[in-house]
Structure 1
Amino acid sequence: MTRVVVTGLGAVSACGIGADALWLAAREGRTAVRNVSFPKLPRQSVPKAARITDESFEMLLRGAQVRFQDRAAILALAAAREAVAQAGLTDADFGSQCGVIVGSGLGGAETIDRNFTKFIETPTARLDPMSVPKTMASSSASWIAMEWGVTGPTYCISTACSSSSQSIGLAADLVRSGAINSAIAGGTEALLFDSMFACWEALHVMTATECRPFSLGRNGMVLGEGAGVVVLESLEFAQERGANVLAEVVGYACTNDATDLLRPSAKGAADCMRRTLQRSGLKLSDIGYVNAHGTGTIANDQAESQALREIFGEGLDQVAVSSTKPIHGHALGAAGALEFIVTLCALREQIAPPTINFLDVDPRIGLKPVPNVALPFSAPAAMTNSFAFGGINASLVVALADRPN
Structure 2
Amino acid sequence: MHSESDARGATGTARTPQNEPVAIVGIAALYPGIRGADAYWRALTEPPPDPGSGPAPSLAGIEVDVARFGIPPAQAGALTRMQLLMLEAARECLEDAKGGDRTLRTERTDVVAGVCSGLDRQYANALRVEGGRYARELERAVSAPEFGGSARTAAQAADELRSALVRRLGASPHDRVGEMASTIPARIASAFKLRGRTLALESADATSFLAIAHALDSLRGGLSEAVLVVTGQREEGPYLRAALAAKGLVAPRTRPFAADGDGFALGEGVGALLLKRLSSAVGDGDRIYATVRGCAVHHEGRPGVFRYSTSVERRAETARAALRECGASPDTIGYVECGASGVARETAAELAALTSVFADAEPGSVVVGSVRDRLGHTFANAGLAGVTKAALALHHQRLPARPPQPPGAAQDLSAAPFRTPAEPQKWAPPPGGEPRRACVSGASLTGTLCHLVLEEHETAGAAPAPARPRTARASAAPEPVAIVGFGGRFGDAPDADAFWAAMLAGQDRIGPLPESLLDRELYHRPGKLSLTHSYTDLGSPVEVPAAPPGGLRIPPHRYAVMDAAQRVALGVAGELLARRGRAGSGYAAVRPAGRGLVAMGTNLSLSRERRTAAGLALGEVEAAVAGLAALGHLDATGVATLLDLVRERYAADPPPGGPEDLDGSLAGGVAAVIANEYGLDAVPLGIEAACASSLAALDVAVGRLRSGSVDYALAGGVELPCNARDMVLCSALGLLSHERITPFDTAADGFTPGDGCALFLLKRYADARRDGDAIHGLLRGIGASNDAKSLIAPDVDGQVRAMRQAFGQAGFDPADVGYLEAHGTGTRVGDRVEIAAAARVYASPHRRRPLEIGSAKSFFGHTFAAAGGAGLLRALYALRTGVLPANAGLTAVSPELDLERIPARVSTATTPWESAPGRPRRAGVSSFGTGGINYHVLIEEHLDGPR
User: Which amino acid is 2:480 matched to?
Assistant: R
Cross-structure match for 2:523: 41
- Counterpart among 840, 856, 860 of residue 328 in structure 1: 860
Distance, in Å, in 1 between the alignment partners of 2:858 and 2:492 is 11
What does residue 354 of structure 1 align with?
886
1:97-117 per-residue CA deviation (whole Å, 9 max, x = no partner) reads 121111103442244246526
Q: How does 1:156-167 map to 2 (within 5 A)?
A: 156-167=686-697
CA contact (8 A) 1:387 1:393 kept: yes
State which of 675, 680, 686 in structure 2 corresponds to 1:145: 675
Q: What SS is found at the alignment partner of 2:897?
A: coil
| 1:104 corresponds to 2:578 | no
CA gap 1:338/1:42 in 2 versus in 1, 3 angstroms: closer
Q: 1:70 aligns with which of 552, 557, 563?
A: 563
> AA paired with 1:48?
L
Contact 1:28 1:373 in 2 (8 A): no
Looking at structure 1, the residues matched to 589 and 882 of structure 2 have their Cα atoms a distance apart, in angstroms, of 34
Separation of aligned partners in 2, 1:242 and 1:61: 26
CA distance in 2 between partners of 1:85 and 1:389 (Å): 35
Q: 121-130 or 11-20: which moved more?
A: 121-130
Take 1:215 and 1:403, find their aligned partners in 2: how far apart are those partners? Answer: 39
1:228-247 equivalence runs, <5 A: 228-247=758-777
In structure 2, what is the equivalent of residue 5 of structure 1? 482
Contact 1:385 1:395 in 2 (8 A): yes
Counterpart of 2:906 in structure 1 is 370
Q: 1:92 to 1:287 in 2, by over 3 A?
A: closer
* Distance (whole Å) between structure 1 residues aligned to residue 661 and residue 914 of structure 2: 49
Does the CA-based 8 Å contact 1:95-1:152 persist in structure 2? no
1:66 is paired with a residue whose SS is helix
Tell me the amino acid that sits aligned with residue 251 of structure 1.
Answer: G
Output the CA distance in 1 between the equivalents of 2:705 and 2:697.
12
The answer to whether the aligner puts 1:225 opposite 2:755 as a matched pair is yes
**Contact 1:7/1:86 (CA < 8 Å) preserved in 2?**
no
Mapped to 2, the partners of 1:124 and 1:227 lie a distance apart of 30
Who wins on radius of gyration, i.e. which is larger?
2
| Equivalent position SS for 1:149 | coil
Distance 1:217 1:114 in 2: 39
Which position in structure 1 is the counterpart of 2:572?
79
Q: In 1, Cα distance between the equivalents of 2:912 and 2:495?
A: 23
Alignment pair present for 1:394 and 2:887: no
CA drift of 1:87 comes to 3.1
Q: Distance in 2 between matches of 1:302 and 1:87?
A: 40
CA offsets 1:217-250 (integer angstroms, 9 cap, x no match): 2111110111100111122332333221111111
Q: 1:356 to 1:50 in 2, by over 3 A?
A: same
Contact 1:45/1:201 (<8 A) preserved: yes
Deviations 1:333-360 (A, max 9, x none): 0111121111100111222211222222
Q: For residue 60 of structure 1, report the CA deviation from its aligned partner.
A: 6.1
State the TM-score, normalizing by the size of structure 2: 0.40
Q: CA deviation at 1:264?
A: 0.6
Aligned pairs (5 A) from 1:276-291 = 276-291=806-821
Q: How does 1:15-26 map to 2 (within 5 A)?
A: 15-26=492-503
C-alpha distance after superposition, 1:287-336 (max 9, x if no partner): 11010000101221111010011111256871100112020111100111
Structure-to-structure mapping, 1:159-308, within 5 angstroms: 159-308=689-838
Asked whether 1:382 is paired with 2:927, we answer: no
Q: Sequence identity of aligned pairs in percent?
A: 24
Distance 1:94 1:205, change over 3 A: same
After the TM superposition, which of the residue ranges 135-144 and 102-111 deviates more from structure 2?
A: 102-111
Quote the Cα distance in structure 1 between the aligned partners of 2:490 and 2:651.
37
- 1:52/1:208 CA distance change after superposition, 3 Å: same
C-alpha change, 1:24 and 1:112, in structure 2 (3 Å) is same
Provide the rounded CA distance (Å) in 1 between the counterparts of 2:923 and 2:944. Answer: 12
- Distance in 2 between the 1:256 and 1:284 partners? 22
Q: Per-residue deviation at 1:385?
A: 0.4
Question: Secondary structure at the residue paired with 1:16?
Answer: coil
Aligned residues: 403
Look up the match of 1:127.
655
Tell which deviates more after alignment, 66-75 or 256-265: 66-75
Q: Assess if the C-alpha contact under 8 Å between 2:783 and 2:935 holds in 1.
A: yes
* 3-state SS, counterpart of residue 17 of structure 1: coil
Structure 1 residues 61 and 35: alpha-carbon distance in aligned structure 2, compared to 1, 3 A threshold: farther
Give the 3 Å change call, closer, same or farther, for CA 217–223 of structure 1 in structure 2. Answer: same
Q: Check the 8 A contact 2:687/2:697 in 1, yes or no.
A: yes
Tell me the residue number matched to 1:337.
Answer: 869
User: Higher relative contact order at CA 8 Å, sep ≥6: structure 1 or structure 2?
Assistant: 1
TM-superposed deviation, 1:57: 3.7
Distance 1:31 1:14 in 2: 10
Does the Cα contact within 8 Å between 2:512 and 2:538 map onto a contact in 1? yes
**Equivalents in 1 of 2:720, 2:562: separation in Å?**
12
- Give the C-alpha shift of residue 2 in structure 1: 3.8
